[in-house]
């Protein structure tokens, strides 16, 4: 026996692991025996991967994906980003136009880490080129884009995984299973706390850097002057490119709320949103502080608000300030879940195992691994194109209501606003040529 080796009883080890994962021991034991972890790949079972959008998030995703395949090529509209990614991943080629990358026969999988306003065009082009897709969230810039992406992915029989990795975090699955099995009684209210967005500006025109193709970067959106606060990580604070924290973190937490409510294939029937602070003219225009009230056909209400704004019914958070996470409030208790913890009004709500006949949800313990497993099996991953579309549609509804400044009625089956022509105009946006759908035909 190795004198430096310490024997730790399995039960004690599992207890420590459960504490580290912030889940109860019974749930961790289920996770260990569920077979939800990705299968190891052989040397001949590694598909060719290409990264489109080589910023921080895309690079992080590709770094995760490279353990399941071989990175062949990269593409970015910033030549410096493209070259840095090529060296980092030892890729054979770097492109300024992602369409050239999609022509490669040795590319089987696309990692889409582009800004939000490019997600849909890249995903449709990849599906048409016969590639499987891991796409960053939010999946789309508009609700109509989501309908188009769903259609194209299913038509071409591609596997698409949306980067809503919280679905592969045991805490979030556990919270949703407990809620859907009535552990807190009948679900009545969900409170989604999102980060408060920045409120900065104005940003005067600056020269476009030589390494950046600014017109291509703008893509489908209207022409605007360049400023470094409009590119890379800052794109999300502009409605032109994204939707602020409403569509950024909202893509994560609204997805979990829908999962817990059992409405991940549907959506709310009403949205009433308000911006709580005026944005600075010439600066970021996506709402920084906000509150949106939503209702579902099953009677459940949902409030989405930034975490600096108090809510009178909040069950966690100092002074009713809503923390970043999801609060499920039922007739017999509550559950709160975030990336750091899961807790409830009583410890037994979480600590008591679910019965054998309980409703159980899709199990995944590794989001990227689940994607590559599904590439081989051709089964649906944990966050399908439809789920990604429906979860970000919730955020789009909130953003549209904020921009119009009034309550909106929504038909989730028809995916249109009820008797509201003005609101229905926001389901899509004009696409600047040549960066419309013909650009990827």
- Mean pLDDT across the stretch 251-264? 98
pLDDT at 374: 96
Identify the DSSP state of 183. B
pLDDT at 318: 77
The token pair at 196 is 């408060």
Whether the predicted pLDDT of 265 surpasses 70 = yes
Domain ranges, ordered by start, for the chain: 167-199+233-360+389-421
Write the DSSP string, 124-167: HHHHHTT-EEEEPSS--SSHHHHHHHHHHHHHTT--EEES-GGG
> Is this model's pTM higher than 0.85 or not?
yes
Whole-angstrom Cα distance, residue 439 to residue 441?
6
Whether the predicted pLDDT of 156 surpasses 90 = yes
Residue 267's CB is within 10 A of a number of other CB atoms, namely 25
Whole-angstrom Cα distance, residue 421 to residue 69?
47
- Mean pLDDT across the stretch 25-46? 67
Write the DSSP string, 201-253: ------PPPTTB-HHHHHTTSPP----GGGSGGGGGGSTTT--GGGTTHHHHH
pLDDT of 329-339, one tens digit each?
A: 999 999 999 99
- Mean pLDDT across the stretch 217-245? 97
Query: Does residue 37 contact residue 60 with C-beta atoms inside 8 Å?
Result: no
150-154, 295-299, 317-321: the lowest-pLDDT one: 317-321
Whether the predicted pLDDT of 131 surpasses 80 = yes
> What dihedral do alpha carbons 274, 277, 279, 280 form, nearest 10°?
160
Question: Between 43 and 111, where is the model more confident?
Answer: 111
pLDDT of 266-278, one tens digit each?
A: 999 999 999 999 9
pLDDT at 316: 87
- Mean pLDDT across the stretch 339-351? 96
pLDDT of 375-427, one tens digit each?
A: 999 999 999 999 999 999 999 999 999 999 999 999 999 999 999 999 999 99
Whole-angstrom Cα distance, residue 218 to residue 220?
6
Q: How confident is the model at residue 6 (pLDDT cuts 50, 70, 90)?
A: very low
Q: Indicate the average pLDDT of the chain.
A: 93
Q: Does domain 167-199+233-360+389-421 have CATH number 3.30.360.10?
A: yes
SS3 state of residue 310: strand
- Mean pLDDT across the stretch 242-251? 97
pLDDT of 51-64, one tens digit each?
A: 999 999 999 999 99
Q: Peptide bond preceding 202: is omega within 30 degrees of 0, i.e. cis? A: yes
Question: Between 30 and 358, where is the model more confident?
Answer: 358
Segment (H or E) for 224: none
Identify the DSSP state of 404. H
3-state helix, strand, coil in the chain (%, to 5): 40, 20, 45
pLDDT of 165-199, one tens digit each?
A: 999 999 999 999 999 999 999 999 999 999 999 99
Write the DSSP string, 184-196: TBSEEEEEEEEPP
Query: How far is the CA of 68 from the CAs of 13, 34, 137, in angstroms?
Result: 28, 21, 21
């Amino acid at each position: 026996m190795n004198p430096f080796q310490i024997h730790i009883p399995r039960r004690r080890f599992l207890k420590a692991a459960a504490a580290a994962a912030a889940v109860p021991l019974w749930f961790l034991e289920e996770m260990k025996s569920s077979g939800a972890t990705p299968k190891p790949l052989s040397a001949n079972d590694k598909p060719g991967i290409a990264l489109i959008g080589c910023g921080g998030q895309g690079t992080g995703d590709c770094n995760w994906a490279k353990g399941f395949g071989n990175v062949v090529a990269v593409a970015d509209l910033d030549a410096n980003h493209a070259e840095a990614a090529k060296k980092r991943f030892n890729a054979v080629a770097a492109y300024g136009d992602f369409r050239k990358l999609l022509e490669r026969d040795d590319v089987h999988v696309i990692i889409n880490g582009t800004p939000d306003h490019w997600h849909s065009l890249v995903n449709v082009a990849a599906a048409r080129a016969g590639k499987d897709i891991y796409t960053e969230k939010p999946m789309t810039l508009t609700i109509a884009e989501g309908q188009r992406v769903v259609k194209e992915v299913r038509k071409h029989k591609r596997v698409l995984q949306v980067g809503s990795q919280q679905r592969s975090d045991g805490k979030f699955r556990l919270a949703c299973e407990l809620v859907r099995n009535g552990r807190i009684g009948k679900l009545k209210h969900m409170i989604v706390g999102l980060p408060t967005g920045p409120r900065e500006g104005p940003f005067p025109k600056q020269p476009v850097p030589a390494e950046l193709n600014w017109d291509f970067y703008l893509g489908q959106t209207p022409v605007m002057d360049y400023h470094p606060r409009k590119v890379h990580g800052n794109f999300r604070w502009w409605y032109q490119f994204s939707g602020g924290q409403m569509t950024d973190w909202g893509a994560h937490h609204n997805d979990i709320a829908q999962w817990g409510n059992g409405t991940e294939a549907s959506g709310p029937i009403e949205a009433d949103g308000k911006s709580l602070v005026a944005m600075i003219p010439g600066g970021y225009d996506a709402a920084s502080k906000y509150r949106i009230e939503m209702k579902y056909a099953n009677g459940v209400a949902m409030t989405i608000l930034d975490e600096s704004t108090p809510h009178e019914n909040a069950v966690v958070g100092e002074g009713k300030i809503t923390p970043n996470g999801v609060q499920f409030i039922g007739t017999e208790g509550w559950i709160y879940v975030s990336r750091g913890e899961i807790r409830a009004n009583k410890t037994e709500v979480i600590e008591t195992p679910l019965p054998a006949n309980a409703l159980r949800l899709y199990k995944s313990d590794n989001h990227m691994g689940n994607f590559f497993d599904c590439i081989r099996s051709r089964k649906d991953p944990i966050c399908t194109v439809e789920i990604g579309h429906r979860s970000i549609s919730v955020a789009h509804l909130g953003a549209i209501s904020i921009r119009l400044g009034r309550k909106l009625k929504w038909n989730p089956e028809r995916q249109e606003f009820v008797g509201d022509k003005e609101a229905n105009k926001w389901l899509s946006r004009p696409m600047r040529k040549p960066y419309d759908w013909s650009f990827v035909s």
